[in-house]
Structure 1
Amino acid sequence: MTFTATSEIIDDVAKITLAGELDAATAPVLKVEVEKAAAQKVKRLVLLVHDLEYMASAGLRVLLFSKQKMGVDVDIYVVGAQEFILETLEKTGFAQSLILVDKYDE
């Protein structure tokens, strides 16, 4: 499946919807969207990943980049992650730096 990352920024919240497979070839697409959000100095980054089918280590690197780029005051939500993505985030310890939820309530 083709990877897509679409974003919208409303006030101080950036939402990025991810679908497909996030791997080394597609991670730069997500990185560009994160950089756009960081440039707007948002206070919250919401990653809607219901349709994300796969995440390789390159995807984890972009999440780490996101945390570093946004700063410690920005909350990063991962919404609707499939079980294998949650397991990857937990095994790497990165889940502790994120807010993992099934649904996002503004």
Structure 2
Amino acid sequence: MPFDASVGLSGSSAVLHLSGRLTDADVRTLRGLVEQAVGRSPRRLVVDLYDLEEMVPAALRCLAFAQQHLPATAEMVIEGASEHLRGALERSGLTQSMTVVTAAAPR
């Protein structure tokens, strides 16, 4: 499935939805959406990975960038990451600075 992404902004929250296969060619798109979300200084940034099949290491760096550029009091939440993606997040050390929700998809 090709990569698709969108960002939704509402009040003090932002939701970044990622789906498909995120390749190196897609990282520029992801980076732009992350910058858009972080630029609004949300109190909460939710990254919806329910429909994401895989991601390259550069995408993990984009998520780290998001975490580093959020306000100090903001929360970053990763939702719906598959076991494979959770492993990548853990190996990168990102799970220490983000909340990872592993509940079933609310669809």
Amino acid at match of 2:22: L
Q: CA deviation at 1:92?
A: 2.1
Give SS of 1:84's match: helix
Q: CA deviation at 1:102?
A: 2.8
Q: Check whether the contact 1:6–1:16 (CA below 8 A) recurs between aligned residues.
A: yes
In the aligned structure 2, how far is the partner of 1:20 from the partner of 1:63? 17
2:8 match: 8
Task: Give aligned-pair identity as a percent.
Answer: 33
Q: Check whether the contact 1:22–1:58 (CA below 8 A) recurs between aligned residues.
A: no
2:48 match: 48
1:68 match: 68
Q: CA deviation at 1:13?
A: 0.4
Supply the RMSD in Å over aligned alpha carbons: 1.5
In the aligned structure 2, how far is the partner of 1:8 from the partner of 1:80? 17
2:24 match: 24
1:57 match: 57
- Structure 2: runs of 5 or more not aligned: none
Where does structure 1 differ by over 3 angstroms across 4 or more consecutive aligned residues? none
